[in-house]
Amino acid sequence: MGINILWDQQAPGGIELPVVRMIAMILGRDPGLVEYPFLIDGYDRNRDQHDAQKILDRLQDTLKRRYDIPGPLLLVTSKDLYVNGCDFVFGLARPACGVAVVSTARLENDYYGRTPDDTDLIDRAAKEGAHELGHLIGLDHCGNPECVMFRPRTLDELDRKRKMLCPACRETLASWEER
Ligand SMILES: [Zn+2]
Ligand SMILES: [Zn+2]
């Protein structure tokens, strides 16, 4: 069951391949890369953000149900995301349906008034992409602050994570694969 990564046309261009390669390295899977053919749903004018749940609804209803695309799907978008009760989220996964979304909005140095750097952006997008896909292939959050499955609340916590799964998460993944 192959993983597919959908790239929003407005998400930063030119970093797709390095991000996909790094995700492949982290998870030990080889994801496909497809351009996302729709506009991004769930815009909230008051917040100037997009509702991540509505984006997942669209992935689930249209791509999973109507087009019957098998395997985990991850959308990468430049839109800033929220869920009810949270100021923002870096990403969101719905494991029961095999769909997830990641936003690059708060992964760019510009957002924090720092000097733009594609390497930082690629690392962060790959870590967050691998994290959400990790949920879709059976992993929960991990307490190890260096593990990709650790849940970061800030950019610094995200940067502290390494581009890998910790041994415990790797073992969990392997046990899923044996089934
Ligand atoms: Zn998570
Ligand atoms: Zn872990």
Residue 173, amino acid: L
Alpha-carbon gap, residue 22 to 121, rounded angstroms: 12
Ligand approaching nearest to the C-alpha of 141: 1
Write out pLDDT tens, residues 26-73: 999 999 999 998 899 999 999 999 999 999 999 999 887 887 888 999
Residue 157: which domain range?
4-178
Question: Helix, strand, or coil here: 74?
Answer: strand
Give the integer Cα–Cα distance in Å for 46 and 89: 17
Q: Kindly state the average pLDDT of the residues 142-152.
A: 98
> Where do we find the tokens 């029961």?
96
Q: Nearest bound ligand to CA 171?
A: 2
- State the ligand closest to the CA atom of 131: 1
Q: Which residues contact 4 (CB under 8 A, 6 or more apart)?
A: 31, 32, 33, 34, 69, 71, 72, 73, 74
pLDDT, tens only, 84-105: 999 999 999 999 999 999 999 9
Q: For 132-145, what is each residue's pLDDT tens digit? A: 999 999 999 999 99
Are 71 and 107 within 8 A, CB to CB? Answer: no
- pTM for this one? 0.95
The catalytic site residues sit at: 132
- What is the mean pLDDT of the segment spanning 128-135? 98
The rounded Å distance from CA 38 to ligand 2 centre is 34
Rounded Cα distance, 43 and 108, in Å: 21
How far apart are the CA of 9 and the centre of ligand 2, in A?
Answer: 32
Three-state secondary-structure class, residue 48: coil
97: CATH:
3.40.390.10
Q: What is the DSSP letter of 109?
A: G
Look at the chain and report how many structural domains it folds into: 1
The rounded Å distance from CA 116 to ligand 1 centre is 26
